[in-house]
Structure 1
């Protein structure tokens, strides 16, 4: 089975770590686990973060050049389907639909969004392209129920929708956490939504008793001085671990007692999967996407403030039996729904539905 793979927002070889890059790599691993030979068709990054029509025009021209290159390559290599990960109005798939059409092969989308409100305004060209890509897909794999709502509403009649829960590229669970040690937070130290999560963390910590807890923060980025300023009131109780490689991050999970990340505007958050796989109870806000990957309902909605978060933390830190029970629940949840074999079977079902597999 020969498949072409493309990630217009961030290709799997991009030098900057992120959940987007990790998910792209995990999808390739799952497709290969299912028996496919996967070709990374293009590394063209289509993202326009500011709504610049000139930038969009340049990227559209580059996409046409890629299409001209890829159609003969696809014929030569015998591609049987094109798979694109993450199509949306700021980073649409400008390549896959045309290549798939010219090759006469199925076009599959994994994670796409509908944003018809963007069909006017600075992203209109890209929004139109993202809508065309969504319309062209034979199969759309959606990752969260929040995404499914608009996709279901606007899908063509012949299009199939399949739920692909976010997953880790592991066949088995990692070693469990000790259940003791500091709390852990993990997220890029950058402005915007990540910084808003760090603000909530600081506000929550300020309501906890002054002793009996500590927090490690894994991650780095341009907003580090501002995040450090937020946490300065807590002195040595908060430790910045910096950006960690995979092995060091695994140790951070194993050495923690719980995982605390509010999840402001997270699509779903791979860190929640990693934390739960290691058996960490999660404290997060009740937000779309985040709730799709948690073993149990998040303790508070954003409008309820930090008090429910602080109460959940206090309960988990003071009740060892509860922490142990929640740890086991988290690992069972990940094993049942969010590991590579389950994802590979779901992807295979989609490929079979469009005739790529018997």
Structure 2
């Protein structure tokens, strides 16, 4: 039986550190293996350089060269496809293209970005490596319309660009919420964009009308800063801590709406999870985020600020029927577009011809 090689240069799906990237990598492996084809995690080599450090990049290239030699030698002879998840300028695939060229294996990528603006500066070499890896891919599956812009502009030869909408890990939808209860926010508490979303949440809460309650699921190194942001609201904000999948699903089920601004989110799995439970979402209209939200509701532009978010929340809180209708439509869209069965149909439709040619 043919086998598929799977590799994630930024973070292994077996990493003990939770993140959206790890969860999506795990979901991709499971989805691909769902048709009975063995999917092997062929390397846990991590090429990530967060700082733009030339010395670190040189060391990573040397380590990658060792992995290339090992895999050219040891990769099973029945490997019919190589899949790399999340190749980008801070974590380029330094392994897959070389191994596939040496072993005549079709090479494809999922969620890759081309960053021509990074071809100069501290990540220039890594950005070029990511660009070259994109060129080597016969198929690139893109998750958002924003990623497609540069992938299409820099498309290499007859390379296929195929939309693969982000998807939940299971084909069964959870129990539907009644869209009553407190509002819910969920996100890791860390400096940068996540903290910026929490800051925007606090600014929005200050503009809400009437009595309200917000539950927050999440934890992390920025927990003290988040707690300080929410302190003025006292008992109206309740911290749930970091929840496992079942705990988070229970939180969706007892909530009235999901509120996460989405500052610089690639797309955000929490939006899919919330909508699968039938929750209406309050978020800003941002690239990536809009790809996983129900079309139709007027999500405010980032420049409209916290006042516009508060206005959307107040409208939803005042109209249970609207919450139910939007939540129901969002749940239906998840069922048809964002589950593993839909993803598998897209994936196998694109790669089966490559595997047949290679065998």
1:219 aligns with 2:218: yes
Q: Distance in 2 between matches of 1:306 and 1:222?
A: 25
Count how many residue pairs are aligned between Structure 1 and Structure 2. Answer: 356
Give the match for residue 187 of structure 1: 187
After superposition, the C-alpha distances for 1:322-343 in whole angstroms (9 at most, x for unaligned) are 1110110110010010001000
* 2:81–2:355 CA contact under 8 A, matched in 1: no
Give the match for residue 145 of structure 2: 145
Give the match for residue 53 of structure 2: 52
Structure 1 unmatched runs, 5+:
none
* 1:34–1:345 CA contact under 8 A, matched in 2: no
* 1:71–1:103 CA contact under 8 A, matched in 2: yes
What is the Cα-based RMSD across aligned positions, in Å?
1.2
User: How do residues 158-237 of structure 1 correspond to structure 2 at under 5 angstroms?
Assistant: 158-209=158-209, 211-237=210-236
Partner secondary structure for residue 129 of structure 2: helix
Give the match for residue 266 of structure 2: 267
C-alpha displacement at 1:77, in angstroms?
4.5
Give the match for residue 351 of structure 1: 351
Q: Distance in 2 between matches of 1:36 and 1:271?
A: 29
C-alpha displacement at 1:302, in angstroms?
0.4
Q: Distance in 2 between matches of 1:106 and 1:263?
A: 35
* 2:285–2:300 CA contact under 8 A, matched in 1: yes
C-alpha displacement at 1:73, in angstroms?
2.1
Partner secondary structure for residue 4 of structure 1: strand
* 1:277–1:334 CA contact under 8 A, matched in 2: yes
User: How do residues 298-309 of structure 1 correspond to structure 2 at under 5 angstroms?
Assistant: 298-309=298-309
Give the match for residue 34 of structure 2: 33
* 1:85–1:109 CA contact under 8 A, matched in 2: yes
TM-score by length of structure 2 reads: 0.97
After superposition, the C-alpha distances for 1:216-243 in whole angstroms (9 at most, x for unaligned) are 1111011111111100111000011111
After superposition, the C-alpha distances for 1:118-158 in whole angstroms (9 at most, x for unaligned) are 11111111111101100000000000010001000101121
C-alpha displacement at 1:16, in angstroms?
1.1
Give the match for residue 253 of structure 2: 254
Give the match for residue 23 of structure 1: 24
Give the match for residue 6 of structure 2: 5
Q: Distance in 2 between matches of 1:129 and 1:42?
A: 18
Q: Distance in 2 between matches of 1:289 and 1:34?
A: 29
Give the match for residue 66 of structure 2: 65
Q: Distance in 2 between matches of 1:43 and 1:208?
A: 47
C-alpha displacement at 1:206, in angstroms?
0.1
C-alpha displacement at 1:173, in angstroms?
0.8
Give the match for residue 157 of structure 2: 157
C-alpha displacement at 1:289, in angstroms?
0.2
* 1:216–1:238 CA contact under 8 A, matched in 2: yes
Q: Distance in 2 between matches of 1:284 and 1:93?
A: 33
C-alpha displacement at 1:212, in angstroms?
2.1
* 1:139–1:354 CA contact under 8 A, matched in 2: no
Q: Distance in 2 between matches of 1:342 and 1:225?
A: 41
After superposition, the C-alpha distances for 1:263-282 in whole angstroms (9 at most, x for unaligned) are 00000000000000011100
Structure 2 unmatched runs, 5+:
none
* 2:189–2:220 CA contact under 8 A, matched in 1: yes
Q: Detail structure 1 runs of 4+ shifted over 6 Å in the superposition.
A: none
1:110 aligns with 2:110: yes
C-alpha displacement at 1:178, in angstroms?
2.6
1:296 aligns with 2:295: yes
Q: Distance in 1 between matches of 2:160 and 2:63?
A: 30
Partner secondary structure for residue 165 of structure 2: coil
TM-score by length of structure 1 reads: 0.97
Give the match for residue 97 of structure 1: 97
Q: Distance in 1 between matches of 2:35 and 2:294?
A: 26
